[in-house]
Chain A
């Protein structure tokens, strides 16, 4: 190879190969993703983050939060399981069906520990058949889809993180390190923005945490007439001197809004999970009964 242009051509070909594979093709496949619907509810997902949270993403970037926190929940497998929720009247018949999957169970034990998982495995058809047989025997049974893996067992998410979760974020900061916990779902784990504000000011509130405090996001100021409603409620050494209060700055509030908005746990076609049926809808009926009498 004594010919410069030939080497240039070789490099050009090699690099264009990987450019097509890792720049152009991903852009054609995941770069064009649109909103989708949750399964089975059909709600639109994902919705763009609210304005404050979007500003918070910028604070997250500017402070390099992604150097310590990942936003990727991993999943190693998916299992189907049959849960008995009601035994019904014909306990003996139900126990007989259940015995096919869980032999040594008595009717009494089954009735007393509902809901009970009686079969777990990767064969969904078998689970469906068992649930159907239970239904015929008069019991109520549900088939659940349960993602598995250490991250999910740790409670970092209900399902794995997928490309869809990030279509409205820019920059996308997936992180490569878990010096701190994964944050893909921190908004579902810790939905209280005030908790995040306190934690940013004083990570030591979680005993043993190695996280550095981010006090520059807060402002110490003199109390004017009345204390500010959003002043931090601090304890111990952190209480400022009398007449002063610690108030979160705009960046801190945006960051807390972003953190609480991190909730990637909707059930989707691509990453199915079964979510529990919603609790009965709340009404505007006055609490404590159906009369208008003042509560005592």
Chain B
């Protein structure tokens, strides 16, 4: 067996591919929040883009969802997976150049998909908006990156597996299965009728609840013990969390309103409620790890992001379980409550944890600190307040809207007008999130630029030193 690799050696092997993944994710974040901001402007002035096919509300919403899910979310998740596989396995990344090519392919695919959406080729399925020609490129990019990740894990020099590696390995395999199933059965050989809707819901839940859950929890299980200098409370409890999450969360997705045989929404309700078990065991495990001292989660920028993520994860899963019950769903379905819980899970939980991971990993890759600690702090507050300003008004507005819809005497336009108020409030959250992403990209790009500047200066110094010595000899 090979000797274990030094952290610095690992970071050098990860540097290029991971920087590509992180920087492109940052670009997608800015784009995604820009699309979201423009979409939300339409609620202030409906005829803003009345002459533009490309910027109609439906297109902007699909573009935002694609940028956040595929551009930012999965890319940040893959970067974190690769780095954790290397660090925990104490082995350098296998084929970093190939991973870079894979990352570039992924980004090419998402770009093609986004152009397709803007041009009117969106598929009509939520969280699977990219047309099939783009999906193929995206899938290829994923396979390249994932293969290298799997080979890296296989060749690990520290043989015993840490909790995070279980979660990440499952996630690595989860995505290609659900993505290929969804694309084949919805876009390439479309199945008939509402089966399409069932598969789209199944895919969306498996991406946003299971995949995000697996990768996000893996990062939390790594960073919290590491940064608080404690042992993980219980590996067995974590194993239980893992099993329960993959067993139950994968049944989420079908709403009670669906025009389907009722066993399907009923099964989904059971899945959503039972998903509370892994959340509970996860929370207990974490509580034990930090020995109940929640203030430790506010120490340092990385832990802060992760801390907000933990909180959002618990609340979002709770919201999901409660609204999956028929009587509650009757009110919350079809209202702004639905996007509120999706955003709390996708942004408040997953992306926040990924931001924390990025702020930890990127300086390690380069061996330099971020140019501005203030910007990290600013990003944290902008993102936290921003997501709160989106989720709270939408969730409350959704409940108000849902209760009003129950009474047929309330004219529909009156209800629309009431919920519009909450929507306009959430535009402020969109602006804050956008500013936060600008802070993020500025910091990451600034750090990379600083690194290459230092490198160029060193190379220049070395070259000129040689000239000087040559000159001295002559």
Bound CA–CA A128/B251 (angstroms): 43
Task: Write out, one digit per residue, whether chain A residues 192-213 have a CB within 8 A of any chain B CB (1) or not (0).
Answer: 0000000000010011111111
Q: Which residues of B contact A215 (CB under 8 A)?
A: 50-51
Bound CA–CA A154/B408 (angstroms): 5
Q: Which residues of A contact B56 (CB under 8 A)?
A: 63-64, 212, 214, 216
Bound CA–CA A17/B260 (angstroms): 20
Q: Which residues of A contact B261 (CB under 8 A)?
A: 29-30, 163
The reply on B111 being an interface residue by CB < 8 A is no
Given the contacts A4-B154, A177-B338, A30 and B195 also touching, CB distance less than 8 Å: yes
The A contact surface, by secondary structure, is loop
The reply on B161 being an interface residue by CB < 8 A is yes
Bound CA–CA A72/B124 (angstroms): 16
A18 pairs with B191, CB closer than 8 A: no
What is the chain A residue whose CB lies nearest that of B267?
A: A21
Bound CA–CA A267/B58 (angstroms): 33
Given the contacts A2-B160, A4-B153, A26-B195, A10 and B50 also touching, CB distance less than 8 Å: no
What is the chain B residue whose CB lies nearest that of A149?
A: B330
Q: How far is the CB of B76 from chain A (nearest CB, A)?
A: 21
The reply on B468 being an interface residue by CB < 8 A is no
A171 pairs with B196, CB closer than 8 A: yes
The reply on A233 being an interface residue by CB < 8 A is no
A214 pairs with B50, CB closer than 8 A: yes
Q: How far is the CB of A53 from chain B (nearest CB, A)?
A: 16
Task: Write out, one digit per residue, whether chain A residues 8-24 have a CB within 8 A of any chain B CB (1) or not (0).
Answer: 10111011011101110
Bound CA–CA A177/B336 (angstroms): 7
B191 pairs with A31, CB closer than 8 A: yes
Bound CA–CA A175/B333 (angstroms): 11
Given the contacts A179-B416, A212-B56, A163 and B194 also touching, CB distance less than 8 Å: yes
Number of interface residues of B (CB under 8 A): 87
B43 pairs with A210, CB closer than 8 A: yes
Interface size on A, as a range, is 35 or more
Q: How far is the CB of B390 from chain A (nearest CB, A)?
A: 15
Which one, A61, A66, A74, contacts B257 given CB within 8 A?
A74
A162 pairs with B173, CB closer than 8 A: no
Given the contacts A2-B161, A166-B259, A210-B46, A27 and B173 also touching, CB distance less than 8 Å: no
Given the contacts A2-B159, A22-B202, A33-B193, A8 and B50 also touching, CB distance less than 8 Å: no
B253 pairs with A30, CB closer than 8 A: no
The reply on B80 being an interface residue by CB < 8 A is no
The reply on A239 being an interface residue by CB < 8 A is no
Q: Which residues of A contact B57 (CB under 8 A)?
A: 64, 67-68, 212
What is the chain B residue whose CB lies nearest that of A71?
A: B259
The reply on B98 being an interface residue by CB < 8 A is no
Q: Which residues of B contact A66 (CB under 8 A)?
A: 58, 124
Q: How far is the CB of A263 from chain B (nearest CB, A)?
A: 15
Bound CA–CA A35/B408 (angstroms): 33
What is the chain B residue whose CB lies nearest that of A217?
A: B53
Which one, A11, A27, A150, contacts B170 given CB within 8 A?
A11
Q: Which residues of A contact B267 (CB under 8 A)?
A: 21-22
Bound CA–CA A172/B201 (angstroms): 12
Q: Which residues of B contact A176 (CB under 8 A)?
A: 126, 255, 333-334, 338
Q: Which residues between 87 and 131 of chain B lie within 8 Å of chain A, taking CB atoms?
A: 120-126
Q: Which residues of B contact A162 (CB under 8 A)?
A: 259
A216 pairs with B53, CB closer than 8 A: yes
The reply on A223 being an interface residue by CB < 8 A is no
The reply on A119 being an interface residue by CB < 8 A is no
A30 pairs with B43, CB closer than 8 A: no
Task: Write out, one digit per residue, whether chain B residues 402-440 have a CB within 8 A of any chain A CB (1) or not (0).
Answer: 000111100011001101100000000000000000000
A76 pairs with B330, CB closer than 8 A: yes
Given the contacts A18-B206, A72-B258, A181-B412, A23 and B123 also touching, CB distance less than 8 Å: no
Bound CA–CA A66/B61 (angstroms): 11
The reply on A65 being an interface residue by CB < 8 A is yes
What is the chain A residue whose CB lies nearest that of B44?
A: A210
The reply on B190 being an interface residue by CB < 8 A is yes
B194, B198, B405, most chain A CB atoms within 10 A: B194
Q: How far is the CB of B397 from chain A (nearest CB, A)?
A: 11
Q: Which residues of A contact B178 (CB under 8 A)?
A: 15
The reply on B451 being an interface residue by CB < 8 A is no
Which one, B53, B199, B333, B335, contacts A26 given CB within 8 A?
B199
Q: How far is the CB of A246 from chain B (nearest CB, A)?
A: 12
B186 pairs with A171, CB closer than 8 A: yes
B62 pairs with A64, CB closer than 8 A: yes
The reply on B453 being an interface residue by CB < 8 A is no
Q: Which residues of A contact B160 (CB under 8 A)?
A: 2
Q: Which residues between 159 and 195 of chain B lie within 8 Å of chain A, taking CB atoms?
A: 159-161, 165-166, 169-170, 173-174, 177-178, 181, 185-186, 190-195
List, sorted by A's number, 15 A–B pairs whose CB atoms are closer than 8 Å.
Answer: A15-B250, A26-B195, A26-B260, A31-B193, A61-B124, A68-B58, A170-B192, A171-B186, A172-B193, A172-B196, A173-B125, A175-B334, A177-B339, A178-B335, A216-B50
Instruction: Give 3 closest A-B pairs by Cβ, nearest first.
Output: A64-B58, A153-B408, A18-B250
B residues near A (Cβ < 8 Å) are: 42-43, 46-53, 56-59, 61-62, 120-126, 153-154, 159-161, 165-166, 169-170, 173-174, 177-178, 181, 185-186, 190-199, 201-202, 206, 239, 242-243, 246-247, 250-251, 253-255, 257-261, 264, 267, 330, 333-336, 338-339, 401, 405-408, 412-413, 416-417, 419-420
